Amino acid sequence: MLRIIKHAENEVFPLSGTNIVRRVNNNDYSSLLQFVEANFSSEWSKTLKDGFLTDAPSIYIAVAEKEIIGFAAFDVYKGRKCYFGPMGVSKSNRIKGVGTLLLHHCLREMKEIGYEYATIGGAGPIEFYEKACHSVVIPNHRF
């Protein structure tokens, strides 16, 4: 497995087109979980359920025509801090910049919190992250 680490110190995250991306609220719970289970996996759905247990879930969604078309989260996977993911965009909305917007919203907030790095475990496709935020791939080492 590879990990992608992003140093966020001097990074500027463009947020054009932000009218489709917003942070989740409690009313999004059911529709987001249904979207994730239908398009991705029950494992990701469980991870996002855990994210909703916090006062302010660190989950963003992309919405078009009142339908969720993508999501991204951080600090939700097993409660790990500085950990980005999961993230997914419906197949019909890929290669339209939705994933990049979601990623940038999360990385921007992580930077504002004070995180210097974001770990993206099991990332794929790696090329997306390299292009979207100049991430660097490092081998997974056990320390």
> Which has more pLDDT, 68 or 10?
68
Query: Which pLDDT score, from 0 to 100, does residue 1 have?
Result: 41
**Closest C-alpha among 65, 70, 64 to residue 106:** 70
The Cα–Cα gap between 50 and 97 comes to: 27
Question: Which architecture does CATH list for 2-139?
Answer: 3-Layer(aba) Sandwich (3.40)
Residue 98 has pLDDT above 80, yes or no: yes
Query: Which pLDDT score, from 0 to 100, does residue 15 have?
Result: 62
3-state SS class at 81: coil
The percent of residues above 90 in pLDDT, for the chain, comes to 44
Encode pLDDT of 3-45 as tens digits.
555 555 566 666 655 688 999 999 999 999 999 999 999 999 9
Query: Which pLDDT score, from 0 to 100, does residue 85 have?
Result: 85
Asked whether the beta carbons of 1 and 140 are under 8 A apart, the reply is yes
What is the identity of the amino acid at 20?
I
What pTM was computed for the model? Answer: 0.84
* C-alpha triplet 118, 27, 109: angle, nearest 5°: 20
Q: Kindly state the tokens that stand for 70.
A: 């993508």
Residue 62 has pLDDT above 50, yes or no: yes
Residue 2 has pLDDT above 80, yes or no: no
